[in-house]
Structures are given as structure tokens and as C-alpha cells.
Structure 1
Amino acid sequence: MSLNAAAQDVASRLRDGMVRGVLSFPLTSFRPDGSLDLDAYRAYLAQQLATSPGAVFPACGTGEFTALDEDEYRQVVTAAVEVAAGRLPVVAGLGYGWAQALRFARIAEEAGADAALVLPHYLLQAPQRGLVEQLRRIAAGTRLPLIAYQRDQVAFTVESLRRIAELPTVIGLKDGHGDLDRLQRLTLSAPDHLLFFNGAATAELQARAYAAVGVPAYSSAVHAFAPEIADAFFTAVRDDDRATADALLRGFYVPLVELRDRVPGYAVSLVKAAARLRGRPVGPVRAPLTDPGPEDLDELEKLLTTGLELVGSAG
């Protein structure tokens, strides 16, 4: 089965954007008391989109989707659609079980999102036929084109990927496992219309390896706080500028990953802390995540300075 017309259009726009720049996964702005700060979020989004990413993915993992209630989710996705103003695709996150995912999908549809990223379901391990049925039920209940996200307890086999790719609104697969042997098998077996995305944590560390198996597009958490660094690395990899890419990996990305791995949840809370260091109006993380302590913040600030110096930015 081929994609329907609406899915084809969104897939085409995403394909164009993937060549142009990294995929932006913006943070969600909260006040010190933990409430949603929509004005700050709009201002932050405008800063992010001014750097011309390939697409914007609000209310996903970096945007603390699981910490948002349905009304907050509506406000966040609506704001992203309004700020983007049709300049680039808006792909909203959704998840949990299929019934709850559909509640978020309908909100995203009403807000004007172009597509949705289906985050891994909650808690349970599931057999392959259940993973396929989860996507089938979501696809049956929303007009939004869908990108499946495999990581943690979700990992599709070749046969399962073929089955979900037959759905007329499934346009892509985002991979967060980093198993390149498995991923190569998936890309070789997939239909030509299916888009693939590198969704590994700090995806830049594996960007060249993913590109070698046919997956050059990736999401960049670094773009959420230092688009100058993210864009410089993207350009270096695209242009095969190994000297620049290696310098950024050695001086910035590898030390950042080492710092990130010290505390569970730092994949988001370090990113938010770095954005605050840059003066971005994003506020704290919500529990169960925790903001970094003073020592880690000092190290993060030094790393940020190094990264900006490497790309020749004053910050």
C-alpha cells in the first residue's frame, strides 16, 4: 500500500528539510514553580527556528512530553505551529498506549501539526505483533502522518517494519538503539518512501556511522541550546570535513556525553541547564527529572565555552 497524498506531502517536506539541517527538538519552558510558561516558550521557539532547522518536533522527549497534561500539550503544539507559520514541518510527540496516544493525536490535529512522532509505549515489553497493532490502531484513528520511534522496549524486526510501512500514513522510523547491523537490515528491506532518522542520544556521536548505513538525518539535542555548534557539526559531516567534525567530537561532544551519562535523566536536564546558561527562557525540568548540581553546571559551562570557541562563536 502506498502513502496517501497528505502523507506524501509531509514526507517530501521532511526529506527536503533533512538535507538542509538538523531536526530541532525544542525544550518546553516552565516557570520556577513548575507551571507552563507559554510566553517564554514562544520566545525560545522563535530563537530556535531562526536558525533554520530541517523540522521542529515539539512535545517530544527533549520537550518533556511525559510531564505535560493534555491542556499543556495543546498549548505547546499550538504555539509551535503558530511560530513555525508553515515555514517547516511541525511533528508533535505522542505516546503511551494507543488509546491515550490517540487523545494526543487528536489534539495535535486540531492544533495544526503536520505529523506525529510515536514515542515508545509505556512500561510494558510487547511481542512484535503487538508493536505492529499499536501503530495500526494509532494510524486508524488519526489523519496525521506518523513516524515510529524505536528505542528502549520497542525494536522492530524486518517483517514488522514491512507491515507498518504498508499503513498509508506511516512515513518514517526513528532509531534510538544504535544497533547498526539491525538498522542496515531494516533500511535495506524498507520501501523507498520510508524515511529513517538517527535518534540516538547525542546523535552526533554516531552521525557518521548512521550515515554510512543510509541514515544521514538526525535529531540534535545540542541544537536546543547551541544551534551554532549543532549546525557546524552537521555541515562538517555533510561536507566530509573530518577535521572539523573530529575537533568538535573530541573537544565538545565526547566530554558532553561523559557528563550526560553520570546521572539518569541528564539527557534532558543537562540540555535545559545549558540553554539557561545561554540565557534561553526555558526554566527548570519537571520531576522526576532533576536539574544538575553546581559542580556539573560548572563543567557544563566550560564545555559550552569550548564548543562555541571551536565554531568561532562568541556565544
Structure 2
Amino acid sequence: MGKDVNISLAGIMGFPVTPYDRNEQLDEKAFQANVRFLVENGLDSVFVCAGSGEYQSLDINEYEQLVSVGVATAAGKVPVFAGAGGNIREAIARVQLAEQLGADGFLLLPPYLIIPEQEGLFNYYRTLAQSTSLPVIIYQRDNAIFTLSTLEKLISLPNVIGFKDGLGNFELNIEFVQSIGARLQWMNGMPLAELTMPAYSALGYLSYSSAISNYIPQVSRTFYTSLLAGDQATVKSIYQEVILPIHRIRQLRKGYAVSLIKAGMNIVGLPVGLEVRTPLVPVDKEHYARLETIIKRSLELVAIANNG
């Protein structure tokens, strides 16, 4: 499968969590409900076993289980991408396993711990991309920060179709988009990506990963539709009463990027539980209550926007 494969990365990307029971064992039915919820609520793609899915805490058997369930639940309605990265040997094994299980492509996560030279970064991502025939997306964040030269070498590989940015360096992003253009599909992967999407969309980024879509997907869709339509009043209202308040809670404790999603899902009645694997921590009761208030208000705002 080559780079001309007809997989569009435009729109809102769903990143399901990995639910656990009280013994920290996978809850397959809860994961299935999470993926089904995303698909039924119009998310444009699903990414399993990535950051929101606690990739770093999954063993190979759990990875196999989650990819299998994700592919079966999406049932071809939207593309299913699997995360893979970290230890290079383990990442290759997971890529090859997920391909066998029917995944549509991969989000290639940064290498473990090392801050590499550009040569090493190129070799790492090239090795992973060449271990599969499926489309892959390069993820820039943390210790995986590219120069234009390195990224241009990577896009010479036939199955590199997308670039997800979780760094937020706009000078670098402008250089990338202006130099590479439509040779890649550009994805906003910043924390709480709705926060920065107006700036990213102006650069040519046509998609973003939405954490809040796991519990208020209608807010994500209303926000993005309003943004593209130039409806600044609705965008501002959602910013002030939903996005910025949730962002402020996320900033209170490290690891809330995952545990706050589970809290939101619990609030709206999705059966994923609140358990996270160490070193993540669960959401404080006070912060949970604040999120509950925000979610209630967010649904009121969507109703007003869609009926107005």
C-alpha cells in the first residue's frame, strides 16, 4: 500500500482511552463502548493504543486485544490507526502485529527517553515506516523534534502520509507547511487541541486530535464547524465556557491529559471507570466536580448553537 492510498486525515480524530477494572485488567466491553461512541458520534478516524490509550503501560497481549477490538468495532466505517513507538524492537513487533489484525495505519510515537541526533531520529522513524506496508503518520513532540531536512527525507518514503504536531513551534510549522505543502497531511496534536486549532487551521492543518470528543463530541463538532464557517460568536462562547475552563483543570496536575478524559466519560455515563495505571494519577474530587459543571454547560451551549 503506497502513499497514494485513499485515506483522508481531515476532520476530528478520536483517541479512545484504555479502560481498566479495579484490578487494572483491561475492560474490553468498556473499550468497545468507547470506540463505538466515537464512531457513532461522527469522529473521522480512531487512534487506538496511543497517548490517551496509555500506550506506555500496555503489554503486547493487551495491545493485540485493543487493536483487535478497535478494528472490529469500527467495522470499516472510519480508519483505525494504531500507536507504535518507544523501544524500537517492541515497536516493530507491534506494527507488524497490528497490520495483521487489520489496522489501517499507524501513528509513530517518539523513541524512548533518548534525545537523538537528526540522523538517529530519521533512522528510527524510517525503520518503523519500512516495517509495514500501511500508511504512517509521523508524530513530533517531546524528544522527537525535526528539522525540515529530516522531514523531507522521511516523506520520500512511500507510506509516510501525515505529520502530527504536538510541539507547538509555529515558526517551525510555517516552514514545514510552506516547504512541503500537500505532500503531507497536517494534524494538530497539541494538548487540548481545540485550544490552538484556530491558529493551526490558518496554517493548513485540516485535522486535530480531540480529547474531549470522548465525552462531549457534539461540542468538538460544533466548535470545529463554527471555526471553519467563520462563526466567531459560537467559537468564542465555547472557548470561554468550555475549552479554557477544561484547559485550566488539565493544567492543575500532571497526567490529567488521560485521567481527566476518563472523568469526563464517567460523568456522561460511559462505562470506562476512573482507574489509570501508574505513574498517572486519578482526578481529584474537587476537579471532578468542576468538570461536571463545565460539561453540563457545554451541552447547553451546543443546544443553543444548533437551534439558533
Tell whether 2:108 aligns with 1:151: no
TM-score by length of 2: 0.95
Residue pair 1:208, 1:216 contacting (<8 A) in 2 also: no
Please show how residues 66-77 of structure 1 align to structure 2 within 5 Å: 66-77=56-67
What is the letter of the counterpart of residue 91 of structure 2?
A
8 A contact 2:106–2:134 mirrored in 1? yes
Could you list the structure 1 runs, at least 4 aligned residues long, displaced by more than 3 angstroms after superposition: none
Once the two structures are superposed, what CA deviation does each residue of 1:48-100 show, in whole Å capped at 9, x if it has no partner? 21012111101110111111111111110111111111111111001113222
- Give the structure 1 partner of residue 253 of structure 2: 263
Tell me, yes or no, if the aligned pair for 1:207 and 1:216 is still in contact at 8 Å: no
Instruction: Give the whole-Å Cα distance in 2 for the aligned partners of 1:171 and 1:269.
Output: 30
Work out the CA distance in 2 between the residues paired with 1:105 and 1:13: 18
Read off the aligned partner of 2:299 and give its amino acid letter: L
Q: Which has the higher strand share?
A: 2
Contact kept in structure 1, 2:48 and 2:80, CA below 8 Å:
yes
Residue 29 of structure 2: aligned partner: 39
Matches within 5 A, 1:138-287: 138-190=128-180, 192-283=182-273, 284-287=275-278
CA contact (8 A) 2:197 2:208 kept: yes
Kept in 1, the 8 Å contact 2:193–2:209? The answer is: yes
8 Å CA contact 1:28, 1:63 repeated in 2: yes
Distance in 2 (CA, whole Å) between partners of 1:32 and 1:242 is: 44
Match of 1:14 in 2: 8
In structure 2, C-alpha distance between the alignment counterparts of 1:310 and 1:139, rounded to whole Å: 42
- Name which of 280, 283, 308 aligns with 2:299: 308
Specify which of 263, 275, 280 is matched with residue 289 of structure 1: 280
Shift in Å at residue 28 of structure 1? 1.4
- Give me the CA root mean square deviation: 1.3
Residue by residue over 1:232-289, the C-alpha shift from the partner in whole angstroms, topping out at 9 and shown as x without a partner, is 1111112111110110001110111111011000111111111111111112211111
**Cα distance, 1:224 vs structure 2:** 1.1
Check whether the contact 1:23–1:53 (CA below 8 A) recurs between aligned residues.
Answer: yes
- Contiguous gaps of at least 5 residues in structure 2: none
Partners of 1:174 and 1:96 lie apart in 2 by: 17
- Per the alignment, residue 77 of structure 2 pairs with 87
- Give the 3-state SS of the residue equivalent to 2:138 in structure 1: strand
Name the amino acid aligned to 2:199.
Answer: A
Q: Is the 8 A contact 1:105 1:144 kept in 2?
A: no
Please say if 1:100 is aligned against 2:94.
no
**TM-fit CA distance, 1:44:** 2.2
Contact 2:139 2:165 in 1 (8 A): yes
SS in 1 for 2:21: coil
Asked if structure 1 preserves the Cα contact closer than 8 Å seen for 2:138 and 2:164, the reply is yes
Secondary structure, counterpart of 1:125 in structure 2: coil
Does structure 1 retain, via aligned residues, the 8 Å contact 2:2–2:158? no
| TM superposition shift of 1:193 | 2.8
What is the TM-score normalised by the length of structure 1? 0.93
SS, match of residue 163 in structure 2: strand
Mind listing any 5+ residue stretches in structure 1 that lack a counterpart?
none
Counterpart code for 1:37 = D
Aligned residues: 303
